[in-house]
Structure 1
Amino acid sequence: MKGRKCIASLLVVASLICLPAIAQVITKEALAKYKDWPRFGEIALFYQLNQGKLAWVKDSSQQRELMEVLKCASAVGLNEAEYQNDFVRSFSIEQNLHTALDSIDADIRFTDDVFHFFIEVKNGKVPSFGYTGLNYKPDVSALPSQLHQYLQQKNLKSLFNELQPRSREYAVARDKLNWFLKIINEPDFKETRIVSVKVDSSNKPLLVRLYQLGFGDSIESVPSKRGLVTKIQLAQQEFDLLSDGELRNTTLQALNTTLFQRIEELKTALNTFRWLEDIKQDSSVLLLNIPAANFFLYEKGKIMLESRVVVGKKSTPTPSLTSTITEVILYPYWTVPQKIATRELLPLIKKNIGFLKWGNYQVLDKRGRVLDPYSINWQSLNGSNFPYVIRQSTGCDNALGLVKFNLYNPFSVYLHDTPVKMFFASARRFYSHGCMRVEKPGELAHYILGNNRVAYDTLTAKGCIYQQSPIVVQPEKKLPVIILYSTVWYNTKGEIRFYDDVYNKPNSTTGKLVNR
């Protein structure tokens, strides 16, 4: 017996002798080696708060909890593989640590991976824009102290939950994503395609699809005719369709869209919602979503104004961008873009020069001088030979209406009023050449102008003023604007809506240099 105890003791001693030396603290000098890493600032502050102590390599329980939290990535639309790099996934003291410096390097790699994950849980990834004119970056300054606090409590899961947005739309989109993930992971799952337009219990694919989409109690339940119509109507509302309970082509198309596509749309939306959260809560911002053809104006997390907009046609799409409304122009001119002038107006002018007078248009030379249109040989002009500028004079029939909201961008697009109001009643508001026509320009002008709104009120109270010169009014506060493209959006109640991918590019970032 004594011999066995001696052998066991010798084995323990031998194993201890073979263990590598693990550093006790990470000095500033050791940290400096990583100063070029993108998250170095957060890493350095974390170790300062942790008094330079290693956080991971000496505590296997923290490593295990981290691995468990990373498994939650898919539940919020993130890819677990992006954060569990090969080093972290296969880490072991015996294989990875040979010197004290190895232990420092390993611990910092763990910390960097943790920040990578939690920053994207909180802020998402930066969406792609055709032009970025806002210096906006979501705040991560509190994250090092939060990580330190929750590590002390050995409760990373609570940090994961705390960092996510609190908005209802985020929670609804996340729950919808997790429902779809649950459905596609069921053993007998297969995509179901509805062909029949019958709205009754004999249409089995319809019953299955409604359940898969979250509008049925179970796959076996058979609702009444009235109950089935109600479920179809709920689905139609979620797809932003006429909710009449009928299986029209648009409804069938929406129902038959694969769950895998819906999952990808929700992942993109959740990322966008996270990225927008700070600017929505901390300042004023106008968020315009192109597929939804509407905007929300936020101030400190509260929606101050909602408005429908008319955005670009598929052939002349509205570009995604970030910028700032810097001025409001009352009674604006509309300077017709060259392509519109030559492709759309020139054929009409050639038929009848009187079209210019009827449309309240002026013809200018390149120096800005107004010309007599009857002195021009219009028949000799074409797209490659058009040395003129056509400008529509101010007034109620001007294509820009009575007010224009200027924001700098290389696409020459902006928000504006319009004399043609009928398109706002349409569910599919994609009619412009790229600019955004606003249903509620007066309310937007009032908000932006603040105490300077008297200029707007005075002019509009006079009704239509013929040949009124444009008036530039400086806003009381310059308003940040984010124009984005997300096929999943929400209404004022925080209910999720799926929209058509009108431009066939869910991450659309480009636009043509047109304006109207």
Structure 2
Amino acid sequence: MKYSFLRDNLIFVVVLFSLFACHRKRVLRDREIVGDIRQLSEVIPENIIERLEYIADNQDVMEDSVPALRSGALNYFYQQTNNNPVWSSNGVLDGQADSMYYYIIHAEESGLLPADYHSVALDQAMKRIREDANAKKDATLWAQVDLLMTDAFMKMAMHLRFGTGPRDSITLRKDSVYSDTLLANYLNSALHQHIIGPTLRAQEPQHNGYQLLKSAWVNFKGKYSEMKWDSLPLTYTDTAGYRQLLINRLVQSGHLDTSGGHSSDTSLLKKGIRAFQKEFNMYEDGQAGKKTIQTMNKTFADWEVQVALNMDRWRKLPDTLPQRYIMVNVPGYRMELVDSGTVAVTSKVIVGAPRTRTPLLNSRMTNFVMYPYWRVPFSITIKEMLPAIQRDRAYLAKKNLEIIDSHGNAISPDSVKWSKLSKNYFPYVLRQMDGIENSLGIMKFNFMNKYAVYLHDTNARGLFANSYRALSHGCVRVQQWDSLSMYLTKDDTRHPRDSMRRWLANGDKKQIDIQHSVPIYFRYFTAEGRDGRLVLHEDIYGEDRILRKQMKR
């Protein structure tokens, strides 16, 4: 019995030691200097193997504490090379290593972070190689550089194609990851053909919107990345001291030049504020209001993140879009109909207020209706219209509303006991009759979606002059509804343009079926590029804040 006890304890100690040994962090040798550079080809493979084992044992974290894309991808690639280095030869960096390094340190131009691609470790290693003769004979250093470069290429290829943010319900890409085999083939081909740069560029979205955003961002970065500016108190006070702070801030970012006038001149200050508001896509009233001050207090890093988030959103679209489609940019208050790569129709739009958001979606537009009825949604009926009707029965006539019972029949308002109705009991539907005063205006564009939203005209057309247009209950009001309808039917002989004009003039209520349904996308882009200029939009629904947390930016 004593022997059994000792044996069991011995087994426990052995198992415990084995577990500790298996999970003990592997230690990499610091350096291995060869006597002759020609010996590197013999020693570097051993160091590469050692580092591959280290990465696998270290939960895919590399020696610079930056996670690898996948240890499996690295292992597969180096199996093809017999663990030989691919970014250097006989103590000399290959020209493609310089190309890769260039893309790493300029990663932010594509909305990525250089640090994710080992920029710090590579910068230190390459500096040693260039300046220290002994470093050129260090096999461990060459192995480190090789693995970091390879992982950087693989990771960047993945991130440029698929992004770093999460996929969501409207992501149209069917693929979301590159296989180990494909990554290895990409890298081998790029190295052998000396096309590291073109290979990486080919991973980025080729959509015009993405390319315009990237180009505009490079221009913006060139202008502001080296500038520093002061923060302002959030509460504006109309004092000489505060005005001077504003002037200093505008001078720092180049929006005001005080060399030709007195620095305390009020008209000069307003001119500077307007210049700032114009560049940052704000209402140009020349007043330092709350939103203007908040925007002035943003740092260059804030703009960098905002652009990065929107580049990532482009990466969630498929490689190619249909020949003809409609894109609604919700925070940009803009609709575009794109045909064969050209914007054929553009329009200001009004979108849902933050409490009644316009949903992001994918669908196909199938028809539009002239002089539509408006079936008032239940939420609007209960929250807005029922209280108004209970206060004043004349509200129904003022809004041209009729009451529809459960059988689909219009009934007299006098037959309804309005005081008895509530959100728990409302067996009717309110319907607004067609006409100029109809909330849908003259035209409604239909497409299938679970949110019961659509595009439509409006009887409150003056609101299109507002700079802030998140005002609707969720549907999208289109200023250029006429141009949109005419373009959708321009090649349809069933609906000649003359007939369409006549029907509109006569007030005819008609449904026009679109000959070939048109894909429609509602998206959320708070940064765009136009004519080389970065156009920034307010994050009206807070989607940027959410995505920033998800992407850990």
Q: Is 1:501 matched up with 2:545?
A: no
Deviations 1:472-492 (Å, cap 9, x if unpaired)? Answer: 32223322222222332345x
Q: CA RMSD in A?
A: 4.9
Q: Structure 2 vs 1, CA of residues 18 and 352 (structure 1 numbering), >3 Å: closer, same or farther? A: closer
Which amino acid letter does the alignment assign opposite residue 156 of structure 1?
I
Deviations 1:374-394 (Å, cap 9, x if unpaired)? Answer: 222111001111121112233
CA distance in 2: counterparts of 1:159 and 1:22, whole angstroms: 25
Q: Is 1:364 matched up with 2:404?
A: yes
Q: Is 1:74 matched up with 2:108?
A: yes
**Equivalent in the alignment of 1:175:** 219
Q: What is the deviation of 1:264?
A: 1.9
Number of residues of Structure 1 aligned to a counterpart in Structure 2 = 459
8 A contact 1:450–1:476 mirrored in 2: no
Q: What is the deviation of 1:86?
A: 12
Q: Is 1:486 matched up with 2:525?
A: yes
8 A contact 1:286–1:479 mirrored in 2: yes
156-165 or 374-383: bigger deviation: 156-165
Q: Structure 2 vs 1, CA of residues 395 and 300 (structure 1 numbering), >3 Å: closer, same or farther? A: same
8 A contact 1:295–1:306 mirrored in 2: yes
8 A contact 2:230–2:249 mirrored in 1: no
**Equivalent in the alignment of 1:419:** 459
CA distance in 2: counterparts of 1:168 and 1:132, whole angstroms: 23
Q: Is 1:327 matched up with 2:367?
A: yes
8 A contact 1:192–1:205 mirrored in 2: no
| Secondary structure of residue in 1 paired with 2:282 | coil
**Equivalent in the alignment of 2:390:** 350
**Equivalent in the alignment of 1:255:** 296
CA distance in 2: counterparts of 1:251 and 1:76, whole angstroms: 28
Q: Structure 2 vs 1, CA of residues 10 and 332 (structure 1 numbering), >3 Å: closer, same or farther? A: closer
8 A contact 2:368–2:444 mirrored in 1: yes
8 A contact 1:290–1:484 mirrored in 2: yes
CA distance in 2: counterparts of 1:398 and 1:464, whole angstroms: 16
**Equivalent in the alignment of 1:299:** 339
Deviations 1:272-311 (Å, cap 9, x if unpaired)? Answer: 355569546x633322222221122222332212101111
Q: What is the deviation of 1:416?
A: 0.9
Q: Structure 2 vs 1, CA of residues 437 and 295 (structure 1 numbering), >3 Å: closer, same or farther? A: same
Unaligned runs of 5+ in 1: 1-7, 24-38, 98-105, 184-188, 510-516
8 A contact 2:250–2:273 mirrored in 1: no
8 A contact 2:348–2:479 mirrored in 1: yes
Q: Structure 2 vs 1, CA of residues 119 and 353 (structure 1 numbering), >3 Å: closer, same or farther? A: same
Between the aligned residues of both structures, percent identity stands at: 24
**What TM-score does the superposition give when structure 1 sets the normalisation length?**
0.71
Q: What is the deviation of 1:343?
A: 1.6
CA distance in 2: counterparts of 1:9 and 1:502, whole angstroms: 64
Unaligned runs of 5+ in 2: 1-33, 50-68, 126-137, 548-553
Deviations 1:219-265 (Å, cap 9, x if unpaired)? Answer: xx846469876554332112223435554554333322343332321
**Equivalent in the alignment of 1:473:** 512
Q: Structure 2 vs 1, CA of residues 158 and 197 (structure 1 numbering), >3 Å: closer, same or farther? A: farther
**Equivalent in the alignment of 2:159:** 120
Q: What is the deviation of 1:197?
A: 6.3
Which amino acid letter does the alignment assign opposite residue 176 of structure 1?
F
1:270 aligned to which of 291, 311, 319: 311
Q: What is the deviation of 1:95?
A: 11
**Equivalent in the alignment of 2:429:** 389
8 A contact 1:236–1:242 mirrored in 2: yes
2:483 aligned to which of 420, 439, 443: 443
CA distance in 2: counterparts of 1:494 and 1:12, whole angstroms: 50
CA distance in 1: counterparts of 2:229 and 2:512, whole angstroms: 59
Q: What is the deviation of 1:15?
A: 9.8
8 A contact 2:215–2:529 mirrored in 1: no
CA distance in 2: counterparts of 1:406 and 1:73, whole angstroms: 42
Which amino acid letter does the alignment assign opposite residue 172 of structure 1?
A
**Equivalent in the alignment of 1:151:** 191
**What TM-score does the superposition give when structure 2 sets the normalisation length?**
0.67
Deviations 1:422-447 (Å, cap 9, x if unpaired)? Answer: 11111111221011000001111122
